[in-house]
Amino acid sequence: MQDNLFGDLPSPSPAAAAPTEPTAAPVRRKRATEVGPAAPDAALQAVAAALPSRVRLGTSSWSYPGWAHLVWDGGGYSDTLLSKEGLSAYGQHPLLRTVSVDRSFYRPLTQDQYARCAAQVPDDFRFVVKAPSHVTDAMVRGEAGRGLQPNPAFLDPVLATQDFVAPALAGLGHKVGALVFQLSPMPRHLLRNLPLVLQRVRTLLLAQPPLAPTAPDGVLALEVRDPEWLEPALLPELAAVLREAGATWCLCLHAKMPRLAEQLPLLRLLWPGPMVCRWNLNPLHGAYGYEEAQREYSPYDRIHDVDEETRALLVKTIAGISGAGQNVFVTISNKAEGCAPLSARALAEGLAAWQRLPSAQP
């Protein structure tokens, strides 16, 4: 039997009692611009009730018409309407207690925009938010995504505060979960000098205002898309920088990066600490298979390619970390298996089954 992933796991908890039937609410006519939530089935309500309180599962964004009868009612909503008005219905889903705000990567959001998001979700909901690319991209890119010239604002700590951390904290308040600095793939000359880039990351992270006074569950997280960051020689220094800044590593489950098992050693070096994970792309499609997955999986209404290896190890890791009293934030893309809400449900069912084992150890 292998060692526990992150310290001793908790004793298995008894199965959650079946939720009581809710009292019928008065029928209210829905506005033309209002998105209605899907009615959860009893099994979904039970698995959501059994989920540990520190575990928050969710999706990457929420504007997908194909989630009808999974997240939305049968309204036939457009992606435009869902983008503007769907978060309130998403927040009523019993299982989805976080979401990755991805559009902030393309253009900074204002305090008011963040506040509007926060007002649409329950009190215990937490957001995972991506930093704008003009801070995290080493290159200024053209419309096709090709790097045109070096980005003078790359890892600028002042811009990171001004355009990301400060407005997110002010607008989301205690609903901040993880603020993620996702570094885009870097040119070769920077990859050959990662210790120097890491020192710039250190300067950026240390310059940010503390999250805890406003958002006790909040954490800064670093995500990358270059596997060179996980070279064994760099890991101790990388872990030391993240620990000094009170930040963590964002597990990036993407075909450009090593599999989950190969990223966990860094998380162990940061233990004890929270878990932030963004499950982005099924490795079946390769490092540049995002558009292929998009074509094959759209409209994202069912699971196409189950990633059993990732599911199983995520369940073990989530159980160990949450069981030791640490927060867990996992957001899932439709490109991971075909339908993010159903992938989240599969993880929750896996965790519920894990809790029922006679000895919940890996």
Q: Which residues contact 32 (CB under 8 A, 6 or more apart)?
A: none
CA distance 18 to 21: 9
CA distance 204 to 160: 7
Contact assessment for residue 182 and residue 211, using Cβ atoms and an 8 Å cutoff: no
- Helix (H/G/I), strand (E/B), else coil: 311: helix
Strand residue runs (E) in 225-307:
248-253, 275-279
Q: What pLDDT is stored for residue 33 in this prediction?
A: 76
Q: What is the CA radius of gyration of the chain?
A: 20
> How many other C-beta atoms can be found within 10 angstroms of the C-beta atom of residue 274?
20
> H or E element: which one contains 331?
strand 328-332
Contact assessment for residue 89 and residue 72, using Cβ atoms and an 8 Å cutoff: yes
**Helix count and strand count (H, E) for the chain:** 15, 10
> How many other C-beta atoms can be found within 10 angstroms of the C-beta atom of residue 39?
8
Contact assessment for residue 147 and residue 140, using Cβ atoms and an 8 Å cutoff: yes
Tens digits of residue pLDDT in 243-290: 999 999 999 999 999 999 999 999 999 999 999 999 999 999 988 898
Token readout for 163 is: 């355009």
Q: For tokens 């207690």, name the residue.
A: 97
> Whole-prediction pTM value?
0.90
Q: What pLDDT is stored for residue 14 in this prediction?
A: 37
Contact assessment for residue 79 and residue 86, using Cβ atoms and an 8 Å cutoff: no
Which residues does the chain have with pLDDT short of 50? 1-3, 7-29, 361-362
Tens digits of residue pLDDT in 199-227: 999 999 999 999 999 999 999 999 999 99
Domains present along the chain, CATH in parentheses:
48-355 (3.20.20.410)
